[in-house]
């Protein structure tokens, strides 16, 4: 046992040295992506589906005015509206996308298919279908940008760094896009509805042949239907939510505070689940705040706080802010053994400081959780 401990410590120290060297030799993000460095933004409206042509399949793409940099990270923001209302031009959508475009991102506000209000409020089947359609549409939007990159790169994106999220229903759509990994994860009831979006998780909105994988997910007052869909191999999660939210429960409860609506589990349950499986995550709670704080955009200071909080977390995931490893390891299943600090001491969650995740295959990952 002592020999094993010594070997682990040797590998840890070696990895720390490698990571520190990487920090010295790797260029940082040159002042981009953390604060607003551009004064203005440009916006282009496009149809992102090569199957559907209606307004529900359009998205607004925001870029920094005068920016000459390409290979920029992408962030999608989806509007709220309980899956039966809302639009990409809502105040919070515009304010969010401008804030990130001014940081140097390519920011996207995406429309998605909406349900009939009466059908949605009275049928669990229609509720499932509405979420599945939103997932299909978001995936098509992600594929649209990768397709564009492959044939000309109109928007100057990094196709390997795409974040997704939104407010309320938009956050629900993004969470399910990121965390439903396969049809087999779904109940028989939901699986039976898959033909309504083409029979696969990629959906029926087109741009086939390109990846819909995302890098991380953020949630403003959103939730997930099944906590079991969150696992250790999933994308990092950052969320912001009021503890008195009755529209999407901070814990787990029927959405809209309506027993006829499907249950959603908010930040108060998603993050303990993420912690339990070792998934990188962080959340900002607004004590005593209800659901509406994001709807009015920048006129609510909590919305501005949430943008800053989310931006800081995602900044640490950007390729320009990562270390270059001298040693690469093959990708395969591994089990987390322990988490330690820079001195090799066993640690739990610590904000704003490096932690080292030690796995049973001898690999070590450095993570920083920003608060």
pLDDT tens column, 110-160: 999 999 999 999 999 999 999 999 999 999 999 999 999 999 999 999 999
Domain co-membership, 264 together with 370: no
Task: Output the average pLDDT for the chain.
Answer: 88
In a domain, 224, yes or no: yes
Burial (0-12, 13-18, 19+ Cβ within 10 Å), 78 = buried
Arithmetic mean of pLDDT, 359-365: 61
In a domain, 254, yes or no: yes
In a domain, 85, yes or no: yes
Q: What are phi and psi of 252, to 5 degrees?
A: -135, 125
In a domain, 264, yes or no: yes
Domain co-membership, 304 together with 342: no
Q: How confident is the model at residue 304 (pLDDT cuts 50, 70, 90)?
A: very high
What pLDDT does 362 receive?
A: 60
Q: How many CA atoms within 13 Å lie on the side-chain side of 363?
A: 15
Domain co-membership, 16 together with 92: no
In a domain, 188, yes or no: yes
**Tens-digit pLDDT profile for residues 256-282:** 999 999 999 999 999 999 999 999 999
According to the 3-state scheme, what is the secondary structure of 292-328?
A: HHHCCHHHCHHHHHHHHHHHHHHHCCCHHHCCCCCCC
**Tens-digit pLDDT profile for residues 321-335:** 875 433 333 334 455
Specify the pTM: 0.81
In a domain, 327, yes or no: no
Domain co-membership, 7 together with 106: no
Beta-bridge partner residues of 336: 359
What pLDDT does 342 receive?
A: 64
Domain co-membership, 123 together with 271: yes
What pLDDT does 355 receive?
A: 74
What pLDDT does 71 receive?
A: 95
Domain co-membership, 271 together with 295: yes
The residue out of 285, 300, 322 marking a domain boundary is 322
Tell me how far apart the alpha carbons of residues 215 and 193 are, in angstroms, rounded to a whole number: 27
Domain co-membership, 126 together with 7: no
In a domain, 227, yes or no: yes
Q: Residue 306 has which token pair?
A: 């949430």
Tell me how far apart the alpha carbons of residues 30 and 20 are, in angstroms, rounded to a whole number: 19
Domain co-membership, 205 together with 157: yes
Domain co-membership, 294 together with 171: yes
Using alpha carbons, select from 254, 293, 280, 286 the residue that is nearest to residue 267.
286
Domain co-membership, 187 together with 47: yes
CB proximity list for 148: less than 8 A, separation 6 or greater: 154, 155, 157
Domain co-membership, 242 together with 371: no
Tell me how far apart the alpha carbons of residues 71 and 8 are, in angstroms, rounded to a whole number: 37
What pLDDT does 322 receive?
A: 77
Range of the domain at 141: 31-322
How many domains would you assign to the chain?
Answer: 2
In a domain, 328, yes or no: no
Are 257 and 303 a contacting pair, CB within 8 Å?
A: no
Q: What is the CATH classification number for the domain harbouring 47?
A: 3.40.50.1820
Domain co-membership, 233 together with 274: yes
Using alpha carbons, select from 365, 369, 358 the residue that is nearest to residue 335.
358
């Amino acid at each position: 046992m002592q020999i094993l401990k010594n070997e682990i410590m040797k590998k840890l120290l070696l990895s720390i040295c490698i990571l520190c060297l990487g920090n010295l030799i790797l260029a940082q993000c040159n002042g981009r992506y953390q604060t607003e460095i551009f004064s203005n933004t440009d916006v282009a409206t496009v149809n992102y589906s090569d199957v559907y042509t209606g307004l529900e399949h359009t998205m607004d793409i925001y870029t920094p005015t005068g920016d000459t940099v390409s290979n920029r990270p992408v962030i999608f923001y989806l509007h709220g509206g309980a899956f039966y209302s809302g639009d990409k031009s809502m105040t919070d959508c515009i304010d969010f996308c401008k804030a990130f475009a001014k940081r140097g991102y390519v920011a996207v506000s995406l429309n998605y298919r909406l349900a009939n209000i009466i059908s949605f409020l009275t049928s669990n089947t229609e509720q499932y279908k509405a979420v599945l359609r939103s997932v299909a549409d978001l995936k098509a939007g992600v594929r649209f940008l990768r397709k564009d990159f492959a044939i000309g790169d109109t928007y100057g994106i990094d196709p390997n760094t795409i974040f997704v999220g939104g407010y309320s229903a938009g956050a629900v759509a993004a969470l399910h896009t990121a965390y439903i990994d396969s049809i087999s994860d779904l109940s028989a009831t939901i699986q039976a509805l898959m033909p309504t979006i083409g029979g696969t998780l990629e959906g029926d909105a087109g741009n086939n042949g390109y990846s819909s994988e995302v890098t991380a997910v953020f949630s403003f007052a959103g939730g997930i239907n099944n906590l079991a869909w969150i696992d250790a191999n999933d994308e990092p999660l950052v969320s912001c939510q009021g503890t008195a939210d009755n529209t999407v429960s901070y814990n787990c409860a029927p959405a809209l505070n309506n027993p006829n609506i499907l249950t959603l589990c908010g930040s108060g349950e998603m993050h303990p689940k993420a912690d339990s499986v070792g998934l990188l995550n962080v959340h900002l709670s607004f004590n005593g705040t209800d659901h509406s704080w994001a709807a009015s955009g920048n006129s609510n200071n909590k919305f501005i706080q949430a943008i800053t909080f989310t931006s800081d977390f995602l900044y640490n995931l950007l390729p320009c802010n990562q270390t270059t490893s001298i040693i690469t390891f093959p990708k395969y299943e591994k089990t987390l053994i322990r988490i330690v600090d820079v001195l090799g001491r066993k640690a739990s969650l610590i904000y704003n400081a490096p932690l080292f995740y030690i796995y049973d295959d001898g690999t070590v990952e450095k993570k920083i959780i920003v608060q």
